[in-house]
Structures are given as structure tokens and as C-alpha cells.
Structure 1
Amino acid sequence: MARSTPHDRPLYRRVASELLGELRDGAVPPGERLPGERQLAEHFGVSRETVRQALELLRRDGLVSTDRRGSHTTLPGPPVGHLSPLTFPVGARTPEPTAVDRTTISWRPPPAEHAAALGLAPHRPTLVHRYESFGADGEDLRTAVTSFSAVALAEVDELGRYRDRADGTAAAHLERAYDWMRRAGLTLHHRDAITRLVDRPSVRVTRLVHDQYARPLEITDLVVDARRETLVYEFTQPAAR
């Protein structure tokens, strides 16, 4: 852990400066909650007391505000509500008007590939969400399986509360999962990989989402019947200011 000397800038001032730089770089959207003191202490390699002093310095300068839910950035910028939200799970909105959707959630070990991507020990249970879309003839149009990381369940209260009712049969309404993550102070980065399955006429999309500290939050595998559906991605590029 770095230490300051009488001739050095106080450690908490260095942490405050580095944190402010990350906030200005967009690590946390304006108005959103910052990670907790423990996470910040681990991120900067300092004590929680040093983090408290750094946050107090930023509060005095009007750059951070604190309430009962935690500390929030007050830097100017577009409010988080104006950002284009990601659809959860990826591919959940099929273009077929007669399609019927079904969702369930369970507490069980995720697929092995998901466990590895999320840093979970083999056979360790977590929250697993399943989405299915059926055509008018009852055949599968698309299915998506999502596994959440321990970080997501610990940081996002709305997700954590699903553990006790994740029996694999009850409907799960997690459409706002990404919004919940952002409200918990997590900046979302996602990587989508698209592959064609060789054993059937389908396309698989694998989405991995992590936060501003490169901690995995969730991974989703979506399979789409390429004979009957078109997978469409839409992107919005904000105007230059």
C-alpha cells in the first residue's frame, strides 16, 4: 500500500484526484451512486479511512453528494435516464407479432462456460434466468439463458431479493435488470459475440457485461432460429457537443 511522507501530497488527496479523473472519464454516470467504500479502497489500494477522507474532500468541492443510499457524483452531464438502455436479456424482443414469451428464474449452478466467465467456482449456485419465445405454432423462436455473478447479486439489491423465490417455475420480471445495475452505481460495458452453430440452422449471441472495475456482472447466451428470424441490432450515436 502506498504511503505518504511529510513532503508528499497527502494520500487522500491523491485518491480524490484519481477518483475525480475517473468520474470525469465517465466511470460513473452523473447522478449515479459510486461504488462502496470497500470497493473503492480495494480499487485504489488504500484504507477505507483514506477513501472517506477523499470523498469528504470531493464533497466540500461540490463534486460528490452523500445521502442514506451512498455517495453520488454531481458532475455535469446527461442524466442517466437519457441513456439508451440495453434490452435484457439480449434478444428478448422478437419481431414476430404472434410470439409468446416466457421467463423463469432459478437458483442453481450455471453452465460451466458461464461459471468460468463469471469467476464462479464449479457447481456453485447463482441466479440463472431463462427466456423463451415461441411462435404461433409452438416452436422455439429464440431462447436466452443468463447467469449473474456474485458481484451483481451483492451490489444490486433488486437482483439479490430474487434468490429466495428463484424456484425455477415462477415468472421472473427482470426487464429492468440493466437499469437496476446502473442505479446501483455500476457502469455497464458489454461485449457481444455472434457465432453460427454448425449442428443446426441457428445463430448464437453471447453477451458478457462487466462494470467499471472489469468485474463480470452477467453473461447471456441467446440462440435464434436463423431460418425464421432476423437478428437486428440498433445503435444510437449521440450528437457532438
Structure 2
Amino acid sequence: MARTTPHDHPLTEGEPLYRKIATQLLGELHDGTIPPGERLPGERQLAEHFGVSRETVRQALQLLRRDGLVATDRRGSHAALPGLPVETPASSGFPLGAGGAAHNAVTRTTVAWEAPPPGHAEALDVAPGRPTLVHRYWSASAGGRELRTAVTSFSAVALAEVEELSRYRDRADGTCAAELRRAYDWMRRAGLSLHHRDTITRIAGTPSVRVTRRVHDQFGRPLEVTELVMDAQEDVLVYEFMVPAAV
């Protein structure tokens, strides 16, 4: 972040300084200086960046938290804005199937801290009944003609290695909207090479297919399992590919 000074953002008469800083910070969140879901710099760094006191920064963050634009947990504050990330993802998008949804589709995403669905726990080496981070995705095209639903469970390894994922634990109540489109890039940036295995199976008697994705790292440790159900007329197909860790 480039350093600014108070002279770079003169106060409007009568406007509190913390509100001005909140507006400046919100602008940087919108323009992608701090991408959606990324952790914000600490209060001291923000104070130096804007040329104000830490108390002013604290008040500005509180204002943004009140409006749901910034979330804070034990790991710090991070942007909670919806929207596309500025940088182009270097690997396939998350969740599985989201990239193929119709342009005008209506989507919903949530995260919960709960026991994973049947079959996920064993694949992720999670003890039966033990909770983990579970992400749900729902997408429907205009008129509801094309429907996609996906459920993803993350392993303990993924949560331990990838800070951006672990911070969702404290607010994963099943209703919290989740901006995880860069999940695979977060994994790569944490030094993990991603081995995807996607199995596509036609669901008998329906126009739908089930796609099951399992992701491991370079050490063979499971990272996540996703099950996607979508309308299609495809036969079974299995393919694998590797995404190297970020250098």
C-alpha cells in the first residue's frame, strides 16, 4: 500500500476524521488494493498508511464492521465485500461448477462448522461426527431451468495450512455468506500443490450428473472433497491434473 498523508484527503467541514478514513479504506477495498476476503494490514500499518492515529483507524474499522464491510476475528480484520477478485485466479475456480454457471444465474453460498456429509469424513481423515468447515453453493439460471448445488468439506490440514480458510471458523453459522472463490489460490500461496481428481457420474433416471472432486496436496494429504449435482446428459468421465504451488 502506498503511503498517504492527511493532506491527501482534506476533511469536509464537520466530517469526523474516522469517517473520512473509513471512506478512504472502503475505496481501496472496492478498487482491489485489498482483494475480497484478504486480511487487512494491522492498525499500526493502516495508521501509517493514512497518516492518522491508531484510535482513528480503530473507529474507522468499527464503522465498517457495523455496516458489514469488514469482519474481525482472532486473526485480525479482513474485507467482507462481495465481488470478483482483482487478480485472475491461477487455478480452476472454487467451488467446483461455479465457473460453468449461466452468466445471469442467481447464486448463494454459506459456510457452517459441522460434521461433514457421509463419505466426506473418511476421504478427509476426519473422525466420524467431528466438525469441520463445510461450504454450500447453490446456483440457478433465470427461470430456474439450470440448477447446480455443491457441498464442500475441508480437511484439518487445509484449515491448518491456509489462513484465509481457517478464519471462517468463528463465523461459520450456516447463514454466513462465504467468499471463497480464491480458495485454490490461497492453497497454492500457502505452498500447496493441488492434485484434483474429478469423477463425473450420470444419475440414473434423471437429467443430472454428480461430480465428485477430491483434492490432495503434494504430500498426498487430503484438502477438500466437493460433491456437485447439475443438469447434464453426460456419461462417466474421470480426469486428473496438477496445479503447482505458488513460487
TM-score for both structures, normalised by structure 1: 0.58
The yes-or-no answer on 1:100 pairing with 2:100 is no
Shift of 1:96: 2.1
The yes-or-no answer on 1:223 pairing with 2:221 is no
- Aligned to 2:124, which of 105, 118, 127? 118
Shift of 1:225: 1.2
Distance 1:141 1:214, change over 3 A: same
The yes-or-no answer on 1:129 pairing with 2:135 is yes
In the TM superposition, what whole-angstrom CA distance separates every residue of 1:61-118 from its partner, at most 9, and x where no partner exists?
xxxxxxxxxxxxxxxxxxxx99841111111123423211110000000112110100
- Aligned to 1:193, which of 170, 177, 199? 199
Equivalents in 1 of 2:203, 2:197: separation in Å?
19
State the match for 1:11 in structure 2.
none
Aligned AA (1:132)? W
State the match for 1:89 in structure 2.
95
- Once superposed, which parts of structure 1, at least 4 consecutive aligned residues long, lie more than 3 Å away? 81-84
Contact 2:153-2:224 at 8 Å conserved across structures:
yes
The yes-or-no answer on 1:149 pairing with 2:155 is yes
The yes-or-no answer on 1:181 pairing with 2:187 is yes
Contact 2:90-2:185 at 8 Å conserved across structures:
no
Query: Number of aligned pairs?
Result: 150
Contact 1:94-1:133 at 8 Å conserved across structures:
no
Equivalents in 2 of 1:155, 1:197: separation in Å?
35
Aligned AA (1:126)? T
For structure 1, list consecutive stretches of 5 or more residues without a partner in the other structure.
Answer: 1-80, 236-241
In the TM superposition, what whole-angstrom CA distance separates every residue of 1:26-50 from its partner, at most 9, and x where no partner exists?
xxxxxxxxxxxxxxxxxxxxxxxxx
Shift of 1:145: 0.5
Give the alignment of 1:1-241 within 5 angstroms.
Answer: 84-138=90-144, 141-226=147-232
In the TM superposition, what whole-angstrom CA distance separates every residue of 1:1-44 from its partner, at most 9, and x where no partner exists?
xxxxxxxxxxxxxxxxxxxxxxxxxxxxxxxxxxxxxxxxxxxx
Aligned AA (2:154)? F
State the match for 1:77 in structure 2.
none
Aligned AA (2:209)? V
Aligned AA (1:163)? R
Equivalents in 2 of 1:157, 1:226: separation in Å?
36
Which of 93-102 and 156-165 deviates more? Answer: 93-102
Shift of 1:204: 0.8
Which of 84-93 and 117-126 deviates more? Answer: 84-93
Contact 1:134-1:142 at 8 Å conserved across structures:
yes
Q: RMSD of the TM alignment (CA)?
A: 2.3
Contact 2:89-2:185 at 8 Å conserved across structures:
no
State the match for 2:69 in structure 1.
none
Aligned AA (2:220)? A
Shift of 1:175: 0.5
For structure 2, list consecutive stretches of 5 or more residues without a partner in the other structure.
Answer: 1-86, 242-247
Give secondary structure in 2 for the equivalent of 1:180. Answer: helix
